[in-house]
Homo-oligomer: A and B are copies of this chain.
Amino acid sequence: MLGTKLSAGDFSISNLGKPEKNSPLIKEKELFVKETQKITYYADIEEISSFIKQGKDLPCFEMAGPRKKIFFASEKINCAIVTCGGLCPGINDVIRAIVYESYSRYKVKKVYGFRYGYQGMVEKNHIKPIVFNTDMVNEIHEKGGTMLGSSRGSQSKEDMVDYLQELKISVLFAVGGDGTLRGASDIAAKIKERNLDISVIGIPKTIDNDISYIEQTFGFETAVEEARAVIKSAHIESKGAENGVGLVKLMGRDSGFIAAQATLANADVNFCLIPEVPFTLKGKNGLFPLLKKRLIKRKHAVIVVAEGAGQDLIEKEPELIKERTTDASGNILYKDIGVFLKNKITLYFKDNGFPATIKYIDPSYIIRSKPANANDSVFCLQIGQNAVHAGMAGKTDMLISYWNHNYTHVPIKLATSRRKMINPEERLWKTVLSMTD
């Protein structure tokens, strides 16, 4: 899907300098990863062969893990964690892993926790960072959310690097999505500009699972689990009334992975609408006539819609848009595809004199605030530990990923170069279609 334009060079990781100090792990019977250990990006044998035939190096990821030689004298440095963007199951697990690994394994002096995202990284905002100890984080993974708080939006890179210098921080761990990671990359650039020895390690956090070059992001599985339960509720509601329609809006701004996966995990969804696949409301293959057909046949229906789906349809309703502009209470209302569909479906059936009942559920906050399920917890633990290994080794401007059985390093630039989306021509969407038609 991602084309053959990638070359081995796109996967190379930036380093602050040559790692020359002995890792504190050296005393233990540790398994070290060598810099030469790499994981193939392609798994398809034809792709691999094509590189070989052309005499080109295979694009591959640096393998994550502890290094024998590290860059920092770890017992003399401070680290810091910042969490940005919306909540996602597992953030606290990541924080916990970083704090434990930093203190227990690398004996770092202090781990700071910036509060409320990048806002807390600007000194003049007067939000004091936490100084962690292991007791503080011991049980946080049992709770959803982030103990540090979060915020959206960017801050001055100058100000943030100033504060990192002020606090004498050598490694910054930035937990966040696309925007946060670009921000982290900018911070790394600013650090380079100033010629500082500060490593910036990204931890990709996107409940939508829409970051490229990572098989799956943490929290996604937990989100699908919770989404499945909500769809079950919608199904029960839809069967509770004659011609009942259960409508569930799920997370997914640009990528419909949660909607698609939850549809497969549950067997009750009849219509799955995602940003990647445009749809119409009326006309031959329009949602409304298909929905009516389904109701006539089965008396109930379940629709799942990703929040980013059908945005073009909303724009096409000038009347509604006009009303929107005069709405004093915020213009979010009519951009909300869930509310939009609920209202439009209601109107459609009213206009058609067809008695239907729509039950609309928006479970986003309920889903994203849940603690990580067991698998996500283990995943977060290992991502967090590998992030610390990478930081100590002096890697920078990169994030921790997982690919073909292995934890890997990915340049932030590469990971943010294009969004991961569902390809409607590939297997996942075909399977969704086969389960919903």
A43 x B40 contact (CB < 8 A)? yes
* Interface check A135, CB cutoff 8 A: no
* Residue interface mask A323-336, B partner, CB < 8 A = 1: 10011111000000
Q: Is the CB of A150 within 8 A of B241?
A: yes
In the complex with contacts A52-B52, A230-B366, A365-B359, A43-B236 CB distance below 8 A: no
Q: Are A343 and B329 in contact (CB under 8 A)?
A: yes
On whether the beta carbons of A144 and B236 are closer than 8 Å, the reply is: yes
- A285 CB to closest chain B CB (Å) equals 13
> Could you write out 21 A-B pairs with CB less than 8 Å apart?
A38-B45, A40-B45, A43-B405, A52-B52, A65-B427, A87-B240, A116-B241, A138-B267, A139-B267, A150-B241, A228-B374, A230-B366, A237-B369, A264-B377, A265-B374, A265-B378, A323-B323, A362-B362, A363-B366, A373-B373, A385-B431
Cross-chain contact A381 with B264 (CB below 8 angstroms):
yes
With A43-B405, A319-B328, A373-B373 given, name 20 new contacts (CB 8 A). A30-B430, A31-B427, A43-B403, A87-B236, A87-B237, A87-B240, A138-B267, A145-B236, A149-B241, A150-B240, A224-B374, A225-B373, A227-B374, A233-B369, A237-B365, A261-B374, A262-B374, A264-B381, A330-B347, A404-B405
Task: Report the nearest B residue to A139, measured CB to CB.
Answer: B267
Count of interface residues, chain A, beta-carbon cutoff 8 Å? 99
- Segment 221-258 of A: residues with Cβ below 8 Å from B: 221, 224-225, 227-228, 230, 232-234, 236-237, 239-242, 244, 246
Task: Tell me which residues across on chain B come within 8 A of A221, comparing CB atoms.
Answer: 374-375
Residues of B within 8 A of A246 (CB): 365
- Is A44 in contact with B38, judged by CB distance below 8 angstroms? yes
Please, which residues of chain B bring their CB within 8 A of the CB of A145?
A: 236-237, 239-240
Query: Which residues of chain B come closer than 8 Å to A378, judged between CB atoms?
Result: 224, 261, 264-265
Per-residue interface assignment for chain A, residues 386 to 403, with 1 indicating a CB less than 8 Å from any chain B CB and 0 otherwise: 000000000000000001
Known A45-B60, A330-B343, A366-B233: A149·B239 in contact at CB below 8 Å: yes
In the docked arrangement, what's the CA distance between A37 and B361, Å? 42
Contact residues in B for A141 (Cβ distance below 8 Å): 267
Query: Contact flags (1/0) for A33-59 with B, using CB distance below 8 Å?
Result: 000111110111110100010000010
